[in-house]
């Protein structure tokens, strides 16, 4: 039995934790964090009053705006001020997010293919991020650039694949998957924060880790 209230509270908490980690990872760059926070207020309000659920075709516009915001923020983040430990910490968020997605599947709000028992392998990046961070903190040694490049490349591949699956599973004219149980959760509050906050910040973290090399 899925506790919807608890799941919603958990997801809101995960969004705030992601923003906090992003703040620390970018060298306390309040400008970009404020932009993402204000954007979530707008997206959250629209989702809360049912705009995206009633008119799903409006959600791609929100995603497009999120992409533009992501590109802008990438340009405003200084490489010299980055904290790689917090950048890795952002990827650990992928573990509880995947557990939440599984609960949403059980609640009938997303299809199985969007979970770790389907075609979503994102949780593996979260688990390996824990291992990498522990190794860095305990051994005080640097991990080779080649390993980092491979890990980040795989992380971007997994992230991109689940984004495509989520889009093609949504109730849009381009839907290709999950007609019996489409991706409805991301059109609702607070799960709308996944594609408009958590996913872009995870993407930014990968790009910043690669730039740091």
Rounded to whole angstroms, how far apart are CA atoms 80 and 51?
41
100-129 as b/e: b if 16+ CB within 10 A = bbbbbbeeebbbbbbbbebbbebbbbbebb
Lookup: tokens for 133: 């961070």
Read off the pLDDT of residues 57-86 as tens digits, 9 standing for 90 and up: 999 999 999 999 999 999 999 999 999 999
Other beta carbons within 10 angstroms of residue 68's beta carbon come to: 10
Read off the pLDDT of residues 158-193 as tens digits, 9 standing for 90 and up: 999 999 999 999 998 888 888 899 999 999 999 999
Rounded to whole angstroms, how far apart are CA atoms 49 and 176?
27
Residue among 76, 205, 79 at smallest CA distance from 152? 205
pLDDT at 95: 97
pLDDT at 1: 62
Rounded to whole angstroms, how far apart are CA atoms 115 and 169?
12
- Give the up-direction half-sphere exposure of residue 107: CA atoms within 13 A in the CB hemisphere: 18
The DSSP output letter for 98 is H
Three-state DSSP class for residue 111: coil
Q: Please name the residue ranges forming H helices in 26-117.
A: 30-48, 51-54, 59-76, 84-92, 94-106
pTM score, whole prediction: 0.95
Domain boundaries, the chain: 4-212
């Amino acid at each position: 039995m899925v506790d919807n209230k608890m799941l919603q509270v958990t997801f809101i908490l995960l969004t705030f934790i992601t923003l906090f980690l992003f703040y620390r990872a970018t060298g306390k760059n309040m400008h970009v964090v404020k932009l993402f926070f204000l954007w979530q207020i707008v997206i959250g309000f629209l989702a809360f009053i049912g705009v995206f659920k009633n008119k799903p075709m409006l959600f791609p516009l929100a995603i497009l705006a999120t992409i533009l915001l992501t590109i802008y923020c990438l340009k405003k983040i200084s490489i010299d001020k980055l904290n790689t430990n917090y950048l890795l910490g952002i990827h650990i968020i992928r573990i509880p997010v995947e557990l939440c997605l599984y609960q949403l599947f059980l609640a009938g709000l997303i299809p199985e293919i969007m979970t770790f028992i389907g075609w979503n392998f994102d949780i593996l990046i979260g688990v390996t991020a824990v291992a990498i961070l522990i190794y860095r903190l305990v051994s005080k040694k640097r991990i080779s650039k080649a390993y980092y490049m491979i890990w980040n490349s795989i992380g971007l591949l997994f992230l991109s694949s689940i984004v495509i699956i989520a889009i093609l599973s949504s109730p849009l004219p381009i839907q290709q998957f999950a007609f019996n149980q489409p991706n409805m959760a991301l059109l609702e509050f607070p799960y709308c924060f996944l594609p408009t906050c958590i996913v872009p910040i995870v993407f930014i973290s990968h790009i910043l880790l690669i730039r740091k090399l």
